[in-house]
Amino acid sequence: KPKIAVFASGNGSNFQAIADAIQEGRLNAEIALVVTDKPEAFVVERARRLGIKSFSFIPAQYDSKQLYEEMLKEKLVEHKVEWLILAGFMRLIGPVLLEAFENRIINIHPSVLPAFPGKDAIGQTLASGAERAGVTVHYVDAGMDTGSIISQQSFPVAGRGREAVEEEIHKLEHELYPATLQKLFHQPVKTKDLYDSMQG
């Protein structure tokens, strides 16, 4: 069963959805560690309630991203983590972790990428007058929400306000993220993909 670390900076409702899916047998994985850059974030309390280990760090206490990522890498290796699952982690991942977990870092983003990357994607969607809002699960690369898309779902905004759209986004996220991870971890690799990857 794949060992994952969930990275979060805030409420942690997506972490909760992943933990619930594991408990209910919809996702075959083990959360080895929750990692946060915000020690006061509610995700820490959620992890405590579930009896899942969490690790908090304060980026400003390190001289560089490289240094805190080297520290994180050590922690992750110590806990035998295989996948990094970003769930509202509001920081770009740097070269140290990208290399250590190549093709094993996943993110969820509250827009239909490539539209509206970056901060406040829901606000950006509404301000643009887009007809549809949605969510994307994607691989993480060095860019801001630019990695290859794994799954996506959308729905019509239909004149609804921020609160209603946000609620629907979160509902979608909580279903799509665990379901996508289950497929990603357990679907047999297609021969063609394997061949392509062997060609480098």
Active site residues: 109
User: Which residue stretch of 9-17, 27-35, 126-134, 191-199 sits at the interface with ligand GAR (rule: CB under 6 A)?
Assistant: 9-17
Binding to ligand GAR by CB under 6 A, coded x per residue (else -) over 17-56, reads: ----------------------------------------
In our burial notation (b when 16+ CB lie closer than 10 A, e otherwise), range 12-33 reads bbbbbbbbebbeeeebebebbb
Nearer to ligand GAR by C-beta: 13 or 146? Answer: 13
Q: Which stretch binds ligand GAR (CB under 6 A): 7-15, 18-26, 148-156, 190-198?
A: 7-15
**Helix or strand holding residue 190 (H, E):** none
Q: Does residue 88 interact with ligand GAR by CB under 6 A?
A: yes
Pure H helices in 60-134: 65-78, 95-100, 121-128
Strand pairing category for 132-139 and 105-109: antiparallel
86 burial class (0-12, 13-18, 19+ CB within 10 angstroms)? buried
For ligand GAR, what does the binding mask look like between residues 136 and 165, x meaning CB under 6 A?
---------x--------------------
How far is the C-alpha of 55 from the C-alpha of 37, rounded, in Å?
9
Is 11 among the annotated ligand-binding positions? no
Measure Cα distances from 107 to 24, 60, 119, 140, 152 in Å: 22, 23, 14, 6, 12
109 phi/psi in degrees, rounded to 5: -135, 135
Q: Is 110 in the site for ligand GAR (CB under 6 A)?
A: yes
Region of 3-11, 98-106, 157-165, 188-196 interacting with ligand GAR (CB under 6 A):
3-11
| Residues making contact with ligand GAR (CB under 6 A) | 8, 10-14, 87-88, 108-110, 121, 145, 173
Annotated binding site for (6R)-10-formyltetrahydrofolate, which residues? 65, 90-93, 107
